[in-house]
C-alpha cells in the first residue's frame, strides 16, 4: 500500500509499506505495478511491471524515485496514499561494500541517483557523493543524499557541466577508492572509462527494460567482456565494471 507521496522537483518519491520477508540491500530493485488501472488503450492492455531501484528503506517503508517519462511511470507517479502498489522484490545483485581503508565515491545521474541513496545510508557520511542533473528542477533530487556535490548541464545548480568532470577531478592521483555509479548509459560509460584509466575499481548499477526480473526473457542482456552475455536482472543490476567492455546504450537509467 502507498503510504506517502512527495515531490522533489521533476521527481516523485513514492513511499510504500514494506512487504514481509527479506529486506533489500543497496542496489537491488523491485518490479512495480498498480493494482488498479494498470493498462492502456481501448482494450486496457496491461502494462508490464516496471523495474525500479529501491531508493531507501526506513520506518517500515520502501521508497522509490520516479520520473514521469511515459504511461507506466505516469500511472505510478499518480498514485495516492491508500492505493495498492504491487511490488515484487528485492531482486538482483547488490553493491558490495568497499574494503577497509578504501574511500567510496558515489556517482549518480538523474533518476539513477536512487540506489545511491540507500547505499549512502549504509556507508555513512564518509562516502563522497557526486550527482549530475539536466537542470535545476531535477537537481532537487539531490535532497535524497545530504552533502552531495552537484553538477547541472545548464549550470543552474552547482558545477556547470557533467558529473564525470567532478569524478575526474576526484580520481586525480587517487588509488584508494571504489566508485559506485548509476545513471544514463553515456554517463556510466564515461565512469567506466575514467576508472579503467585510473586503475580504480568501479561497480555500475545498470538499468534496462525488463519483462520478467528473473532472467527468463533475456530482454536486458548486455555483452560480457571476453564473450557471452550478462543479464542485468540476475547477474546485476550491479556489475563490476571490469566485466564489460562498455556500458551499452540500453543499459542505463531511463532518461
Tens of pLDDT, residues 197-217: 999 999 999 977 788 888 888
Q: What is the pTM of this model?
A: 0.93
Residue 187 has pLDDT above 80, yes or no: yes
What pLDDT score was predicted for residue 42? 61
- Measured CA distances, 63 to 18, 142, 190 (Å): 9, 15, 28
pLDDT category of residue 220 using cuts at 50, 70 and 90: confident
How are beta strands 128-133 and 149-152 bridged, if at all?
A: parallel
Out of 12-16, 79-83, 117-121, 209-213, least confident range:
209-213
Average the pLDDT over each of 1-15, 22-36, 208-222, 240-254 and give the range with the smallest value.
240-254
The C-alpha cell of 102 is what?
A: 578504501
Residue 78 makes CB contacts below 8 A (sequence gap 6+) with none
pLDDT tens figures, 1-25: 999 999 999 999 999 999 888 889 9
Kind and range of the H or E element at 61? strand 61-67
Number of helices (H), then strands (E), belonging to the chain: the values are: 5, 18
Query: What cell was used for 121?
Result: 545510508
Q: Report d(CA 183, CA 255) in Å as an integer.
A: 9
Q: Which domains does the chain have, with CATH numbers?
A: 2-91 (2.40.30.10), 103-243 (3.40.50.80)
Amino acid at each position: 500500500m502507498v503510504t506517502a507521496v512527495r515531490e522533489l522537483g521533476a521527481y516523485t518519491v513514492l513511499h510504500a509499506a514494506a512487504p514481509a520477508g527479506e529486506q533489500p540491500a543497496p542496489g537491488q530493485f523491485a518490479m512495480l505495478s498498480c493494482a488498479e488501472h494498470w493498462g492502456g488503450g481501448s482494450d486496457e492492455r496491461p502494462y508490464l511491471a516496471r523495474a525500479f531501484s529501491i531508493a531507501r528503506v526506513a520506518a517500515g517503508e520502501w521508497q522509490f524515485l520516479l520520473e514521469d517519462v511515459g504511461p507506466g511511470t505516469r500511472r505510478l507517479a499518480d498514485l495516492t496514499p491508500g492505493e495498492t502498489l504491487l511490488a515484487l522484490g528485492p531482486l538482483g545483485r547488490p553493491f558490495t561494500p568497499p574494503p577497509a581503508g578504501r574511500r567510496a565515491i558515489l556517482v549518480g545521474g538523474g533518476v539513477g541517483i536512487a540506489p545511491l541513496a540507500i547505499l549512502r545510508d549504509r556507508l555513512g557520511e564518509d562516502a563522497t557523493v557526486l550527482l549530475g542533473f539536466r537542470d535545476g528542477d531535477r537537481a532537487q533530487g539531490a535532497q535524497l543524499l545530504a552533502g552531495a556535490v552537484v553538477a547541472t548541464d545548464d549550470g543552474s545548480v552547482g558545477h556547470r557541466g557533467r558529473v564525470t568532470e567532478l569524478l575526474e577531478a576526484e580520481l586525480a592521483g587517487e588509488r584508494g577508492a571504489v566508485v559506485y555509479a548509476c545513471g544514463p548509459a553515456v554517463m556510466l560509460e564515461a565512469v567506466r572509462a575514467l576508472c579503467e584509466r585510473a586503475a580504480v575499481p568501479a561497480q555500475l548499477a545498470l538499468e534496462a527494460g525488463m519483462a520478467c526480473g528473473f532472467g527468463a526473457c533475456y530482454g536486458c542482456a548486455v555483452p560480457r567482456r571476453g564473450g557471452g552475455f550478462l543479464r542485468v536482472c540476475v547477474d546485476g543490476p550491479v556489475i563490476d565494471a571490469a566485466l564489460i567492455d562498455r556500458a551499452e546504450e540500453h543499459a542505463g537509467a531511463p532518461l
